[in-house]
Amino acid sequence: MGFLKKLFGGGEPEKYVDKQGLYFFVECDDCGARVKVRADKQHDLQNTGDGYEWHKTIVDNRCFRRIQTVVQLDGSYQMVSHEITGGRYMTEAEYLAAEAAAEQAKASDAADDGDETETGDSG
Ligand SMILES: [Zn+2]
């Protein structure tokens, strides 16, 4: 009967590891917002034979501009090349450093430096 128990789970606590997820870090060209994007290896990637391709429209939560991207990955999910419109890729280290810097800036930004002047519409 041991195998049945195995089949239906022996009640071992499973640590959640996101084996299915790939993470990408993108900075919006327009407003500088940083976005962490998860791609699901099974559902979001297209198999190209010798690798994978990921198509995504990323929307940041500051200016809500659409960032279009296509990423080519090799068979072990390493980024080979990418195209991105409206933003740029950053490494996880860059992302974390920028987030930390932003937190510090927020903390030390006690003084209000006023509004930026905006002129006209961008086309
Ligand atoms: Zn933006």
pLDDT at 109: 72
Identify which of 40, 4, 5 has the alpha carbon closest to the alpha carbon of residue 19: 40
Asked if 18 and 87 touch (Cβ cutoff 8 Å), the reply is no
Compute, in angstroms, the gap from residue 86 CA to the centroid of ligand 1: 8
List the beta bridge partners of residue 71.
54, 82
Domain map (residue ranges) of the chain? 19-99
Residue with tokens 């699901």: 40
User: How does pLDDT run along the chain (123 residues), one tens digit per residue?
Assistant: 455 555 555 566 667 788 899 999 999 999 999 999 999 999 999 999 999 999 999 999 999 999 999 999 999 999 999 999 999 999 999 999 999 999 999 898 755 555 556 566 655
Rounded to the nearest angstrom, the distance between the alpha carbon of 30 and the centre of ligand 1 is 5
From ligand 1's centre to the CA of 27, what distance in Å? Answer: 8
Strands 87-90, 34-40: pairing kind: unpaired
118 CA to centre of ligand 1 in angstroms? 16
1 to 5, 8, 30: CA distances (angstroms): 7, 11, 61
| Ligand 1: centre distance to CA 108 (Å) | 23
Q: Which SS3 state, helix, strand or coil, does residue 100 take?
A: helix
